Amino acid sequence: MFTSVENTIHELEKQKYICSKDIATTVYLALKMEKPVLVEGPAGVGKTDLGKCIAKSLGFELIRLQCYEGLDEAKALYEWEYAKQLLYTQILKDKLSRILEDQATLKDAVNKLTSEEDVFFSEKFLVARPILKAITNDITSLLLIDEIDKSDSEFEAFLLEVLSDYQVTIPEIGTIVAKNKPFVLLTSNNAREMSDALKRRCLHLYIDYPTKELEERIIQLKVPECGNYLIKEIINAIHEIRKFPLKKDPSISETLDWAKALTLMGCEVLNRDIAIDTLNFILKYEKDIELVKKNLHSIIVH
Amino acid sequence: MFHNNNIIKNIIIEEDKAKGVFFEFAEVLKKAGVDLSIVEIMDMMNAISHISILEKEVFKQTLATTLIKDYTDIPVFNQCFEQFFERKKGNDSLLDIYTLHAHSEDFIFTPEETSLLNSLIDNFLESHPQSFFKKSNEYLTKIFIDEELSSESGGAVGLSLFNKRSQFASAGANDSDYQELSPQLFEVIMGMIRKRMFERTMGSTIKQREDYLLNKYIYQLKPDEIKEMRELIKRFGQKMKNRISLRKKRVKRGNFDIKKTLRRNLQYGGVPFKIFHRDRKIDRPQLVVLCDISSSVNQYSRFMLLLTYTLQSLFAKVRSFAFISNLVEITDLFREMDPERALNSIFSDTNFTYGWGSNYGNSFNQFIQNYSDALTSKTTVLVLGDARNNNQDPGLDSFIKMKERSRNIYWLNPDKQHLWNWSDSIANVYIPYCSEMREVQNFLDLSHFIDTLFIQKR
pLDDT value for A92: 84
Greater pLDDT, B399 or B183: B399
SS3 of B169-222: the string is: CCCCCCCCCCCCCCHHHHHHHHHHHHHHHHHHHHHHHHHHHHHHHHHCCHHHCC
Distance from CA of B251 to the nearest CA of A (A): 11
Contact A21 B65 (CB under 8 A): no
Taking only the tens place, the pLDDT of each residue in B196-239 is 776 666 666 677 777 777 777 766 777 677 777 777 777 777 77
Distance from CA of A246 to the nearest CA of B (A): 5
pLDDT value for B60: 92
Q: Residue B171 — very low, low, confident or very high, per pLDDT cuts 50/70/90?
A: very low
Q: Residue A156 — very low, low, confident or very high, per pLDDT cuts 50/70/90?
A: confident
Cα–Cα dist A131/A166, whole Å:
10
Q: Is beta strand A203-206 parallel, antiparallel or unpaired with respect to B436-439?
A: unpaired
- Does the pLDDT of residue A173 top 80, yes or no? yes
Q: How far is CA B68 from CA A64, B64, B77, B108, B300, in A?
A: 26, 5, 8, 36, 32
Q: Residue B15 — very low, low, confident or very high, per pLDDT cuts 50/70/90?
A: very low
- Chain B neighbors of A202, CB-CB under 8 A: 69
- Chain B neighbors of A206, CB-CB under 8 A: 71, 74
Which residue from B325, B321, B324 is spatially nearest to B333, judged by alpha carbons?
Answer: B321
Contact B55 A247 (CB under 8 A): no
Which residue from B105, B71, B270, B268 is spatially nearest to B190, judged by alpha carbons?
Answer: B105
Taking only the tens place, the pLDDT of each residue in B345-358 is 777 765 665 556 78
Q: Is B3 exposed, middle or buried (0-12, 13-18, 19+ CB in 10 A)?
A: exposed
Q: Is A41 left (phi over 0), alpha (psi -120 to 50) or beta?
A: left
- Which chain A residue has the Cα nearest residue B61? A22
Q: B175 CB contacts (<8 Å, ≥6 apart)? A: none
Q: Residue B10 — very low, low, confident or very high, per pLDDT cuts 50/70/90?
A: very low
Residue pair A145/A194 in contact by the 8 Å Cβ criterion: no
Greater pLDDT, B31 or A265: A265
Q: A283 CB contacts (<8 Å, ≥6 apart)? A: A241, A246, A248, A250, A289, A292
Which residue from A188, A236, A142, A184 is spatially nearest to A45, judged by alpha carbons?
Answer: A188
- Chain B neighbors of A153, CB-CB under 8 A: 246, 249-250
- Report DSSP state, residue A181: P
Which residue from A42, A57, A25 is spatially nearest to A207, judged by alpha carbons?
Answer: A42
- Does the pLDDT of residue A76 top 70, yes or no? yes
* Most confident stretch, A79-83, A175-179, A297-301, B32-36: A175-179
- Chain B neighbors of A50, CB-CB under 8 A: none
Write down how long chain B is: 458
- Does the pLDDT of residue B77 top 70, yes or no? yes
Q: Residue A57 — very low, low, confident or very high, per pLDDT cuts 50/70/90?
A: very high
Among B50, B58, B268, beta carbon nearest to A82? B268
Cα–Cα dist B234/B311, whole Å:
10
Distance from CA of B350 to the nearest CA of A (A): 20
**Cα dihedral A282, A286, A287, A292 sign:** positive
Cα–Cα dist B225/A235, whole Å:
33
To probe the interface with B, which of A7, A22, A29, A86 has the most B CB atoms within 10 Å?
A29
Q: Residue B389 — very low, low, confident or very high, per pLDDT cuts 50/70/90?
A: confident
pLDDT value for A56: 94
Q: Is A44 left (phi over 0), alpha (psi -120 to 50) or beta?
A: left
- Chain B neighbors of A47, CB-CB under 8 A: none
Kindly state whether A217 is in contact with chain B, defined as any CB-CB distance less than 8 angstroms.
no
Kindly state whether B279 is in contact with chain A, defined as any CB-CB distance less than 8 angstroms.
yes
Contact A200 B249 (CB under 8 A): no
Residue pair B219/B299 in contact by the 8 Å Cβ criterion: yes
Distance from CA of A196 to the nearest CA of B (A): 9
pLDDT value for B21: 77
Among B55, B69, B242, beta carbon nearest to A204? B69
- Does the pLDDT of residue B401 top 70, yes or no? yes
pLDDT value for A27: 95
- Which chain A residue has the Cα nearest residue B69? A204
Greater pLDDT, B234 or A164: A164
pLDDT value for A203: 94
Kindly state whether B282 is in contact with chain A, defined as any CB-CB distance less than 8 angstroms.
no
- Does the pLDDT of residue B168 top 60, yes or no? no
CB contacts under 8 A, A 100-139 vs B, are none
- Does the pLDDT of residue A202 top 90, yes or no? yes
- Does the pLDDT of residue B340 top 60, yes or no? yes
Cα–Cα dist B300/B380, whole Å:
19
Residue pair A98/A113 in contact by the 8 Å Cβ criterion: no
Kindly state whether A40 is in contact with chain B, defined as any CB-CB distance less than 8 angstroms.
yes
- Does the pLDDT of residue A240 top 50, yes or no? yes
- Does the pLDDT of residue B145 top 50, yes or no? yes
Kindly state whether B93 is in contact with chain A, defined as any CB-CB distance less than 8 angstroms.
no
Q: Residue A143 — very low, low, confident or very high, per pLDDT cuts 50/70/90?
A: very high
pTM of the model: 0.70
Distance from CA of A112 to the nearest CA of B (A): 24
Contact B50 A32 (CB under 8 A): yes
pLDDT value for B149: 65
Among B65, B249, B341, beta carbon nearest to A204? B65
Q: Number of C-alpha atoms within 13 angstroms, CB side, residue A18?
A: 15
How confident is the model over B261-273, as a mean pLDDT? 80
* Most confident stretch, A46-55, A292-301, B26-35: A46-55
Distance from CA of A135 to the nearest CA of B (A): 23
Residue pair A177/A161 in contact by the 8 Å Cβ criterion: no
- Does the pLDDT of residue B192 top 80, yes or no? no
Taking only the tens place, the pLDDT of each residue in A212-233 is 999 999 999 888 888 888 999 8
Q: Residue B64 — very low, low, confident or very high, per pLDDT cuts 50/70/90?
A: very high
Kindly state whether B175 is in contact with chain A, defined as any CB-CB distance less than 8 angstroms.
no
Q: Residue B174 — very low, low, confident or very high, per pLDDT cuts 50/70/90?
A: very low
Greater pLDDT, B66 or B163: B66
Interface confidence, given as ipTM, is: 0.84
- Which chain B residue has the Cα nearest residue A154? B250
Which residue from B295, B287, B358 is spatially nearest to B327, judged by alpha carbons?
Answer: B358
To probe the interface with B, which of A2, A90, A198, A204 has the most B CB atoms within 10 Å?
A204
- Does the pLDDT of residue B55 top 70, yes or no? yes
Kindly state whether A68 is in contact with chain B, defined as any CB-CB distance less than 8 angstroms.
no
Q: Residue B458 — very low, low, confident or very high, per pLDDT cuts 50/70/90?
A: very low
Q: Residue B159 — very low, low, confident or very high, per pLDDT cuts 50/70/90?
A: low
Contact B43 A195 (CB under 8 A): no
The chain-wide mean pLDDT, for chain B, equals: 74
pLDDT value for B160: 60
Residue pair B367/B334 in contact by the 8 Å Cβ criterion: no
Taking only the tens place, the pLDDT of each residue in A243-295 is 888 888 899 989 999 999 999 988 888 888 888 889 988 998 888 888 888 88
pLDDT value for B65: 94
The chain-wide mean pLDDT, for chain A, equals: 88
- Chain B neighbors of A32, CB-CB under 8 A: 47, 50
Among A191, A200, A205, beta carbon nearest to B39? A200
- Does the pLDDT of residue B177 top 50, yes or no? no
Kindly state whether A5 is in contact with chain B, defined as any CB-CB distance less than 8 angstroms.
yes
Contact A205 B267 (CB under 8 A): no
pLDDT value for B356: 63
Q: Residue B266 — very low, low, confident or very high, per pLDDT cuts 50/70/90?
A: confident
Cα–Cα dist B347/A187, whole Å:
39
Q: Residue B8 — very low, low, confident or very high, per pLDDT cuts 50/70/90?
A: very low
Which residue from A147, A254, A154, A153 is spatially nearest to A194, judged by alpha carbons?
Answer: A153
Share of chain A above pLDDT 90, in %: 42
- Which chain A residue has the Cα nearest residue B59? A25
Contact A33 B279 (CB under 8 A): no
B9-23, B301-315, B351-365, range with the lowest pLDDT: B9-23
